[in-house]
Amino acid sequence: MIRYYKSIMIILNRERDLMIRYTIRRLLMLIPILIAVSLVVYFIVDLAPGDVVDVIAPDDASPEDKELLREMMGLNDPFIIRYARYMQGLMRGDLGKSYVNNRDVFEVYFSRLPNTLLLALAGAFVAVLIAVPLGVVSAMHRGSWKDAISMIFGLLGLSMPNFWLGLLLIIFFSLKLGLFPSYGSEGWSSIVLPAITVGTAQAALVMRTTRSSMLEVVRQDYLRTARAKGVPERTVIYKHALRNALIPIVTVMGTQLGVALGGAVFTETVFAWPGVGRLVVDAINSRDIPMVTGCLILTTMLASFLILLVDIAYAFIDPRIKARYTK
């Protein structure tokens, strides 16, 4: 018994070490990604027309005053010098301060992040609630009218712009029926329409993925064996078939959640939702380079961590996936 226990512990420790090495390798890959993101964003925002000095300077400021302010902020320096100065601060963990309100970028970002997290999770909940049952029904009734309706929903969800759906929901549920507020984040009712807007687009893709994955699984011999043993059909579908079809579904949901964490820009703008997406849009309009760059760097980090967690979750869904950590 002791020898058996030691063998089990050796195997578990080896798998843990492999998991740790895989995680560290993925985290190190973030370094060149963050450098590339910062360079591209900084360069693109720098090319944008307009001047942040025109935004922050008083209305009665003279051209000489604006030029002095521009010099004090270091905006007259060459691009490479300004970018090198920004990267020096970034290496110290300093994302800089906003040009517009002089607030710390890190502080402003994380003050908006909870709202974006709430919207992303609510949208994911709506997507799963709609997509998984529809995908399962569509797969189990392939070629029927149920399958046709599900496919039409998937096509509409993928082709319908978020901002257009958001406006339709506002007109119908806010202006016509008065059931939900059309903007802001006051109370639980404010999240309903934005969550439906975000979740509908996600649900279309998740539904199609669920259908495709289930169609592959339902042909397997072990499901026929389970039915032959008298296992109830509901148990066969939702316990055996769906569980083995989860890998593509989890992948799509993780990717969609990562995109939502980046800020559902159109949704947050339409509903005046105080999240990261709207913060980035406002910063772009005012050419607030530190704010735009810092927000996108932090969002890239969060999305990468989320995708890493999804990869690790594969091992708990399907133990065969653990083999990838040895690569």
Sorted by where each begins, the domain ranges of the chain are 105-326
Q: Indicate the pLDDT class of residue 11, thresholds 50, 70 and 90.
A: very low
Collect all residues with Cβ–Cβ distance below 8 Å to 132 and sequence separation of at least 6.
Answer: 206, 207, 210, 242, 249
Output the 3-class SS for 94-149: CCCECCCCCCEHHHHHHHHHHHHHHHHHHHHHHHHHHHHHHHHHHHHCCCCHHHHH
* pLDDT of amino acid 13: 55
Question: Model confidence over 103-149: pLDDT tens digits?
Answer: 888 888 888 888 888 888 888 888 888 888 888 888 777 778 877 88
Res 320: pLDDT: 54
Across 67-81, 123-137, 224-238, 255-269, the highest mean pLDDT is recorded for 123-137
Q: What is the pLDDT of residues 43-66, one digit of tens each?
A: 877 777 667 777 777 777 777 777
- Give the per-residue pLDDT at 16: 60
pLDDT of amino acid 50: 67
How far is 150 from 152, CA to CA, in rounded Å? 5
Which CATH number, 1.10.3720.10, 1.10.1740.10, 3.40.50.720, 3.40.50.2000, labels domain 105-326? 1.10.3720.10
pLDDT grade for 76, boundaries at 50, 70 and 90: confident
Rounded percentage of the chain residues whose pLDDT exceeds 90: 0
- For residue 310, count other CB atoms closer than 10 A to its CB: 17
Round the average pLDDT of the chain to a whole number and report it. 76
pLDDT at 304: 77
Question: Which pLDDT does position 5 carry in this prediction?
Answer: 45
Q: Are 300 and 37 in contact (CB under 8 A)?
A: yes
Average pLDDT over residues 201-205: 80
